[in-house]
């Protein structure tokens, strides 16, 4: 029997029981759609994390302070201490001490309320140096960043993020306007270009002031010398590792610490953050894909059950065809092809539904879903494979029926 005849006969058998065939495919449809969404969500999350980390700079080192200990002996987590200072930042900026560093920008941040007329908005105000835009890879939308003279004099100037400007003024064209922080009037000299978000933190909802202004006028908490973070921009991506080693060695020497295990600071490399995040999301994607595969298993069992029912219902047909000379291989192939068509149809519908949901859900979830062409192809192949695997037993059972027994069974 020719393949075309087998396909036509199998298709007629499936169409003759449309509702049953649709219910049989349901498990495969759900499983394939789940796989498409799961893989897409995993890839999308990896893409989001990669873009967020890249927004900070692929050649960036992040130096954070160690832990703090209060009067009762209770220790805080890493980053809660006052172990990094402006002196450390100045030392790291030395071309002699850290030759593979291009620039350095310390940060000291506090959550403060900005006021303009009747409007107010609470955001993170960051004190830093004039090298901050270069180190953090930030551009200006309007105006300019504060100058070295502003930083030296502790001038009453401020640079707003685009979102902060919108919240306070309803527009980003605000250069020359003034905002007030705790009674201190600050002139807006620039507005940062939009940069998106980093994790759950918006990079556009912030304000930047000279470090001297921050310490002397806005934030009296903690030591005037301590900083929250020091960003070190390597001369190039290739020199990132060398800059990290030089940074660690210099800070250990400045803090009088003998070994890196006892360091009261941490140096994180952007690439390592990306690798760690990617590893986590890859494992999560595998886990969720495994769960989705269970739906495919259930769908495969459904295919086998329905095919067994089909063999029972068509016993007389099988006996008649064998009596007319049909070989067992012809019978087996027909039922196997029917199972594969069910798998292919379920896989195709599942892919369509999965792609549709992948296009519709990002606006609801607020997360990127990447539709992978490879995942779509593999999903359809797996669906056909599921049909073939779970169709083997019913097909073999049909092929083993003796003509005389089949014809007797009415």
In the chain, where the domains are located: 3-52+276-408, 84-263
Q: How many CB atoms lie within 10 A of CB 291?
A: 11
Give residue 277's pLDDT: 61
Give residue 207's pLDDT: 96
Assign 269 to helix, strand or coil: strand
Assign 155 to helix, strand or coil: coil
Give residue 381's pLDDT: 87
Cβ–Cβ < 8 Å for 81, 407 = no
Give residue 69's pLDDT: 46
Distance separating alpha carbons of residues 99 and 243, to the nearest angstrom: 8
Give residue 52's pLDDT: 64
Distance separating alpha carbons of residues 329 and 361, to the nearest angstrom: 47
Q: What DSSP string describes 228-297?
A: SEEEEEESSGGGHHHHHHHHHHHHHHHTT-SSGGG-SEEEEEHHHHHHHHHHHHHHHHHHHHHHHHHHHH
| Residues forming a β-bridge with 64 | 266
Give residue 70's pLDDT: 47
| Residues forming a β-bridge with 226 | 85
Cβ–Cβ < 8 Å for 349, 22 = no
For the chain of 410 residues, list the mean pLDDT of each consecutive stretch of 10.
67 74 81 84 75 65 74 49 88 91 93 93 95 92 95 94 94 95 94 77 90 86 82 85 91 91 84 61 70 74 79 72 74 81 88 90 80 84 85 78 59
Instruction: Flag whether the pTM goes above 0.75.
Output: no
Give residue 74's pLDDT: 47
Give residue 280's pLDDT: 67
């Amino acid at each position: 029997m020719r393949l075309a005849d087998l396909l036509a006969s199998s298709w007629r058998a499936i169409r003759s029981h449309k509702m049953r065939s649709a219910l049989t495919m349901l498990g495969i449809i759900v499983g394939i759609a789940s796989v498409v969404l799961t893989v897409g969500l995993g890839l999308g999350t990896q893409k989001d994390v990669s873009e967020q980390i890249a927004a900070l700079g692929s050649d960036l080192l992040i130096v954070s302070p160690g832990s703090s200990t209060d009067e009762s002996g209770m220790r805080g987590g890493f980053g809660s201490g006052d172990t990094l200072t402006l002196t450390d930042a100045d030392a790291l900026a030395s071309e002699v001490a850290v030759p593979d560093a291009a620039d350095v920008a310390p940060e000291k941040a506090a959550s403060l309320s900005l006021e303009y007329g009747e409007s107010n908005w609470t955001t993170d105000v960051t004190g830093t140096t004039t090298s901050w835009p270069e180190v953090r890879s930030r551009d200006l939308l309007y105006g300019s960043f504060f100058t070295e003279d502003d930083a030296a004099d502790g001038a009453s100037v401020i640079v707003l993020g685009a979102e902060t400007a919108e919240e306070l003024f309803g527009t980003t064209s605000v250069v020359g306007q003034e905002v007030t922080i705790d009674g201190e009037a600050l002139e807006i000299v620039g507005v940062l270009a939009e940069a998106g978000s980093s994790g759950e933190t918006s990079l556009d909802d912030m304000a930047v002031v000279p470090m001297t202004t921050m310490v002397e006028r806005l934030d009296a908490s903690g030591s005037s010398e301590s900083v929250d973070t020091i960003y070190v921009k390597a001369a190039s991506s290739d020199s990132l590792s060398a800059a990290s080693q030089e940074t660690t060695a210099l800070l250990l020497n400045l803090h009088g610490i003998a070994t890196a295990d006892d360091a009261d600071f941490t140096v994180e490399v952007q690439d390592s953050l990306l690798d760690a995040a990617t590893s986590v999301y890859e494992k999560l994607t595998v886990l969720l894909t495994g769960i989705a595969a269970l739906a495919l298993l259930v769908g495969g069992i459904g295919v086998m059950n329905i095919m067994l029912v089909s063999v029972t219902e068509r016993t007389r047909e099988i006996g008649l065809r064998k009596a007319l000379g049909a070989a067992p291989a012809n019978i087996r192939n027909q039922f196997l092809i029917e199972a594969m068509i069910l798998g292919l149809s379920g896989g195709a519908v599942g892919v369509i539904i999965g792609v549709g949901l992948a296009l519709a859900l990002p606006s609801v979830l607020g997360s990127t879903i990447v539709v992978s062409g490879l995942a779509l192809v593999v999903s359809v192949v797996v669906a056909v494979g599921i049909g073939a695997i779970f169709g083997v037993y019913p097909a073999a059972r049909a092929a083993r029926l003796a003509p005389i027994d089949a014809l007797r069974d009415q």
